[in-house]
Structure 1
Amino acid sequence: MKAIQMREPGGPDVLSLVDLPRPELDTETDVLVRLEAAGVNPVDTKIRSRGTLVPQTLTAVLGCDGAGVVEAVGAGVTRFKPGDAVWFCYGGLGGPRGNYAEYAVVDEQVAQPKPASLDFVQAAAAPLVLITAWEALYDRAGLHQGQQALIHAGAGGVGHVAIQLARLAGARVAATVSGPEKASFVHELGAEYAINYKEESLLHCLSDWTGGRGVDVAFDTVGPEVFRQTIPAMAVYGDLVTILDPAGDLDLKEARNRNLRISLELMLTPQLGGLPEALAHQGEILRRCGELFDDGKLTIHVAETFPLEQAAAAHRRLEAGGATGKLVLTIG
């Protein structure tokens, strides 16, 4: 099969198109998927530049997100049959199992039926960002109706679905953006307030928006400096969730004074730790999101697509920054 492989860490040019053996079913609950598309995520570029997350592997087929058609199933599979369309988030952390390829093997508990309202490109764009946003807002922060929530980088891959999930929970939403076009985009998704972080003070804007009390929930998808700037903009007893390392030299005195609950979100933990119950929970998140897509309550925005052989170009585009929504590789 055709696949994109990295043989060593480095820049986008370490990604090369190769021929690899088609993966085999290893267990009775495995599903072989002929991939139609694969999502491109920041974790892919980090693994490419820094090295694999799976120990003792150097080469890797990247790509956590996939969507395609079931080609074969193990003897114990009960939920799928050949010909079924599926989407999932699994693989891509090291070794040969990833989704920048024509075929992938996943356990049936990880895969879910593709939402009928999404094509394969849209379905491949969605899983990782949906799971990340769901776990951060619902599982970590316990976001609920009537709260005021801040979503950083609201026009980004995770941010634009986080806005929608926050609104579905009944929260009022503010989002940070880099300019007027992205402000219009997040308003269309349901954000009540768009803050241009290049021109406006986060603290002053949120103080005005919340009547001085601060936001109940904040979701950081950017990094340490943004995390630090968000602390004084939080309400007392608020929830601050980040998907990044907030840095070891962080002064948490103000967070402690506000009695904040700080949570870390890494949706890759179930894969890295081999946690079947947690993987099943992520599969359930996708199932429920699939229903939301088909009910017209959730959308995914694909900014640009690239053919499989142009994976390096997709990485360059992602690392350049500024994309609205997601990038996707098309396969076949």
Structure 2
Amino acid sequence: MKAILMTEAGGVDVLQLRDIPTPQIKSPTEVIVELKAAGVNPIDTKIRKRGSFYPEFSSPVLGCDGAGIVVEVGDGVTRFRKGDEVYFCAGGLGKPETGNYAQYTVVEEDYVAKKPQSLSFAEAACAPLVLITAWEAMCDRISLGADDKILIHGGAGGVGHVAIQLAKLRGAEVATTVSNPDKERLVRKLGADYPILYKQKDFINAIMDWTKGKGVDAAFDTVGGKTFFDTCQAVKVYGDIVTILEPDCHSSSLKTARNRNLRISLELMLTPALMNLQEGLKHQRKILEQCAVWFDEGKLTIHLEHTFPLESASVAHQMIESGSTTGKIALTI
């Protein structure tokens, strides 16, 4: 089969289109998926630059997100049959015979969900990682509730644009930071109540005005760095802040967070995969099953900004690393 291999850690030139053996079922509960599309995520570019999570294995296939058609099932598979259209977040971290920048992949059935009928394969392939990340951050970490006010950073980004929609489905009021008027229009369309053009307006002052000096009930940081520490000033006393980046506590202080008695949560949706936590992986699949219902009911949408053919994976990586993308990018296979 054709696949994009990461021949070594480095720049985009290490992504090479090669012929490799088609993966085979080794467990009775595995399915083989003929991939029609793969999502491209920032984690893919980070692995490419620094090396995979499993350096003992060489030339991995990247890509955590995939969508395609089940073409073979193990003897113990009960949830799928040949011909089923599926989507999932599995593999792509460096283990052999995993990854979705390829024509085929093998996945445990417990990690796979039926593809939303209303989405194309490319749209579906873009969705799993960001859906799981946003869900775990806002529903599992901070238990966002009806009438809560939340600040979501980077609302036009991959995680941010689905986070807005999930927050609205929970009945919350949403403020979000964006960089330009085009992104402002997008987040308003997705349901954001208060877009903040952060290049024109200090988001802390904007939030304090919006909340009459109280601060938001919760904040979801998808940007990291100084933004995380500044956001602590915009969260109410005894409020919540969750981030998908590791705070650099050597460069900034958590004094504001401590004084305001904030509850800080860290979100890494890859933890179940990296630690082989079966219940965590099943929980993530259930998230995708519920979101599939909402997609088909018109309550969720995925903003697919660009698609590239498989052989142009390096171009997709360059676009993500530019830091200016809106929504999601997919490779079509």
TM over 0.5: yes
User: Are 2:33 and 1:33 equivalent residues in the alignment?
Assistant: yes
Partner of 1:226: 227
In the TM superposition, what is the alpha-carbon distance from 1:12 to its structure 2 partner? 0.6
In the TM superposition, what is the alpha-carbon distance from 1:60 to its structure 2 partner? 1.1
Q: Secondary structure at the match of 1:109?
A: helix
Deviations 1:17-50 (A, max 9, x none): 0001000101000000000000000000000001
User: Are 2:258 and 1:256 equivalent residues in the alignment?
Assistant: yes
- Separation in 2, partners of 1:246, 1:26: 40
Partner of 1:132: 133
User: Are 2:87 and 1:87 equivalent residues in the alignment?
Assistant: yes
Partner of 1:197: 198
Q: Secondary structure at the match of 1:160?
A: helix
Partner of 1:161: 162
Partner of 1:15: 15
User: Are 2:308 and 1:302 equivalent residues in the alignment?
Assistant: no
Q: Secondary structure at the match of 2:249?
A: coil
Partner of 1:116: 117
Q: Secondary structure at the match of 1:145?
A: coil
Partner of 1:265: 267
Q: Secondary structure at the match of 2:294?
A: helix
- Separation in 2, partners of 1:12, 1:184: 32
User: Are 2:323 and 1:321 equivalent residues in the alignment?
Assistant: yes
In the TM superposition, what is the alpha-carbon distance from 1:54 to its structure 2 partner? 2.4
User: Are 2:105 and 1:104 equivalent residues in the alignment?
Assistant: yes
- Separation in 2, partners of 1:104, 1:94: 13
Partner of 1:214: 215
Q: Secondary structure at the match of 2:111?
A: coil
Task: Give TM-score, length-normalised by structure 1.
Answer: 0.98
In the TM superposition, what is the alpha-carbon distance from 1:57 to its structure 2 partner? 2.6
- Separation in 1, partners of 2:249, 2:230: 16
Partner of 1:151: 152
- Separation in 1, partners of 2:300, 2:178: 20
Q: Secondary structure at the match of 1:256?
A: helix
What residue identity is the alignment partner of 1:265? E
In the TM superposition, what is the alpha-carbon distance from 1:178 to its structure 2 partner? 0.3
Asked whether the equivalents of residues 218 and 239 of structure 1 are also in contact (C-alpha less than 8 Å), the reply is: yes
- Separation in 2, partners of 1:95, 1:84: 25
What residue identity is the alignment partner of 2:242? V
Asked whether the equivalents of residues 150 and 217 of structure 1 are also in contact (C-alpha less than 8 Å), the reply is: yes
Structure 1: tracts of 5 or more residues without a match? none
User: Are 2:231 and 1:240 equivalent residues in the alignment?
Assistant: no
In the TM superposition, what is the alpha-carbon distance from 1:248 to its structure 2 partner? 3.0
Find 2:279's aligned residue among 249, 270, 277. 277
- Separation in 1, partners of 2:54, 2:134: 24
Taking only the aligned residue pairs, the percentage that are identical comes to: 60
Deviations 1:60-111 (A, max 9, x none): 1000000000010000000000110000000000033100000010000000
Partner of 2:288: 286
Partner of 2:4: 4
Task: Give TM-score, length-normalised by structure 2.
Answer: 0.98
Partner of 2:76: 76
What residue identity is the alignment partner of 1:310? S
Structure 2: tracts of 5 or more residues without a match? none
Deviations 1:147-180 (A, max 9, x none): 0001100000000000000000000000000011
**Between 90-99 and 284-293, the greater mean CA deviation after superposition:** 90-99
Partner of 1:186: 187
What residue identity is the alignment partner of 1:89? C
Q: How big is the alpha-carbon RMSD for the aligned residues of Structure 1 and Structure 2?
A: 0.8
In the TM superposition, what is the alpha-carbon distance from 1:252 to its structure 2 partner? 1.1
